[in-house]
Chains A and B, each alone.
Chain A
Amino acid sequence: GQQVMQIPQYQHVQEGEDFTTYCNSSTTLSNIQWYKQRPGGHPVFLIQLVKSGEVKKQKRLTFQFGEAKKNSSLHITATQTTDVGTYFCAGGAAGNKLTFGGGTRVLVKP
């Protein structure tokens, strides 16, 4: 079955620095979604990418979908304490269920 892997599992970041988290699928995807879960909270939808090579930005967050539609990345610039949480990618194939990755837990050092 489809598998979605995320690396790193943990990301310790100094406030103000940039970092990237990666998402890799074992199969070609029709779309990929990203969610953020704050500590003690629930996953909240951030964005969806559909097209090969697509890049979308949300303020300091940049999301990219790979050319082969098997991988994706989330890059955060100038990390702030509000970025703390776990970021999940979720891969979908033609309306089938989303398969969530294991998440990258982001910890920010002030």
Chain B
Amino acid sequence: ETGVTQTPRHLVMGMTNKKSLKCEQHLGHNAMYWYKQSAKKPLELMFVYSLEERVENNSVPSRFSPECPNSSHLFLHLHTLQPEDSALYLCASSQDYGKGLAHNYEQYFGPGTRLTVT
């Protein structure tokens, strides 16, 4: 499946580094998501963007900074992370998102970025 791509696939960074994760969707969707997956919380929603506007921010520490320059691209900027931030970071997209919808659209996930913070 190549509908949602993520780079890099693996990342090792020190606590003082600054890095960015990139996600691109080729499905013409209007909504994009960042999830954190770890052993403690299997699928934890971090951010939701709808038509490039952030619509959900689930109490995520400020060391994670999302950016959505257009509806096809989503970034997660990382700085001064902690070892407990090591996890699989998954990007997803869906056709639409919003409180005006009767139901949710299915989400298409990318392969994820395996992040290790040393």
Are the CB atoms of A30 and B112 closer together than 8 Å?
no
Query: Cα distance A58–B102 when bound, in Å?
Result: 24
A40 to chain B, nearest CB (A): 9
Is A96 an interface residue, CB under 8 A from the partner? yes
Q: Would B48 and A97 count as touching, CB distance under 8 A? A: yes
Q: Which of B11-19, B67-75, B77-85, B103-111 contacts A (4 or more CB under 8 A)?
A: B103-111
How many Å from the CB of A82 to the closest CB on chain B? Answer: 17
Shortest Cβ distance from B48 into A: residue: A97
CA A99 to CA B35, docked complex, whole Å: 11
Q: Give chain A residues whose Cβ lies under 8 Å from the Cβ of B92.
A: 43
How long is the Cα–Cα vector from A80 to B111 in the complex, in angstroms? 24
Q: Which residues of A contact B (CB under 8 A)?
A: 30-31, 33, 35, 41-45, 48, 50, 86, 88, 90, 92, 94-100, 102-103
Which of B's residues lie within 8 Å of A, judged by CB?
A: 1, 41-43, 45, 48, 56, 90, 92, 97-104, 106-112
Pull 19 A–B residue pairs with CB atoms less than 8 Å apart, ordered by A.
Answer: A31-B103, A33-B104, A42-B90, A42-B109, A42-B111, A43-B90, A44-B1, A44-B109, A48-B106, A86-B42, A92-B103, A94-B99, A95-B97, A95-B103, A95-B104, A98-B45, A98-B107, A100-B42, A102-B42
